[in-house]
Structure 1
């Protein structure tokens, strides 16, 4: 469990540097340059992610259940993952109406993903992981909203509706792949409810 928590702190903490220490990034870039900063940031993020993944695998083997969700919530999780995948893809594409409407589609995708998985996973390590990511998403969204009001955050500017079509098609394809085999291959658990 220690490695999981340490991984969460490093990975999500590195993604909250701008929120908790707004001038830190700028000061470090001024001192060492953009390239070294990106390298250092990437290294810390990857180390945190590796610890998180390894720690989660270890913790799942030894932690117990906090709650046993009803099977119906597993169905709801599957349903919620459709918009999560579409928002995730929309965040990587030039802005369509989806990106403009939700403003920060990748952050919304993480929040939906975390909430959906909290509904269907009552195992202790899973709850810790998904609560951490949900809290990260909420904190980041609040910070982005404040930065928008100050004129600091760059909001997506509409380019074309075709990017919404791409986001929906690619998002549904990724969703189908995850449900079909990818989730089980990557995570070791089938996302399909047993009944």
Structure 2
């Protein structure tokens, strides 16, 4: 099998075990093992499978991009990553989709008025930007894995919350949107806007290659 075939196989293994342990296998394993040991198993499997994916990815070495990333693409990517950073920071405030968070209540505010899955969409946007800028076969596999994990995980969260919370979550779904801005434009809030801007500036400053505004003003 080629190294790219191994990479695809590792990606499939990572995604498959993640979704199986997150949904159909979770309840029976928790009943048999207990919550604590299951979380340990879940973390170990995720670490090993994702570690294998990254090990194969790095082992492939440098690849020739299928297209060049000029200033126009970098500028668009910076704007998209700004939005992703805002969603990511805002997701930590009042997000009922986070593990252990209180059930959804009241009207959506901040980034939750943009999408009910701001953290997952931040990962999906990162994967999209990374794929567009790197433009290599191995990057497409890695980024597709993150994209499927993020958006598939968001859909799985909706189904799980509907089962556990019933009408309360369905009411929340009726007030929110899976797709960003699916219910119209919304202001993310100053906490998310300022925090996301700072996160983008720090992350792009520390990036291995000049990125964000530092590409032009660094």
Residues 1:136 and 1:171: Cα distance change in structure 2 (over 3 Å): same
Number of the residue aligned with 2:133:
120
Match of residue 171 from structure 1:
196
Indicate conservation of the 8 Å contact 1:107/1:137, yes or no.
yes
* Offset from partner CA, 1:33-83 (integer Å, 9 cap, x none): 000000011111122232233332222x14333333443112111110011
Measured against aligned partners, the alpha-carbon deviations of 1:137-180 in whole angstroms (never above 9, x if no partner) come to: 333344445556663895599xxxxx943322222221111111
* Inter-partner Cα distance in structure 2 for 1:125 and 1:153: 42
Superposed, which structure 2 residues align to 1:113-152 within 5 Å?
Answer: 113-146=126-159, 151=166
Query: Which has the higher Rg, Structure 1 or Structure 2?
Result: 2
| C-alpha RMSD of the superposition | 3.2
Residue correspondence of structure 1 range 19-168 to structure 2 within 5 A? 22-59=23-60, 61-95=61-95, 96-146=109-159, 151=166, 164-168=189-193
Poorly superposed stretches of 4+, deviation over 6 Å: none
Paired residue total: 182
Give the secondary-structure state (helix, strand or coil) at the position aligned to 2:91.
helix
Q: Give the TM-score normalised by the residue count of structure 1.
A: 0.75
Identify if the C-alpha distance between structure 1 residues 90 and 12 changes in structure 2 by more than 3 Å, giving closer, same or farther.
farther
**2:11 counterpart (8, 13, 38):** 8
- Asked whether the 8 Å contact 1:85–1:171 carries over to 2, the reply is yes
More divergent stretch after superposition (79-88 vs 26-35): 79-88
Deviations along 1:84-116, one digit per CA (max 9) or x if unpaired, are 111112222324421243101111111111122
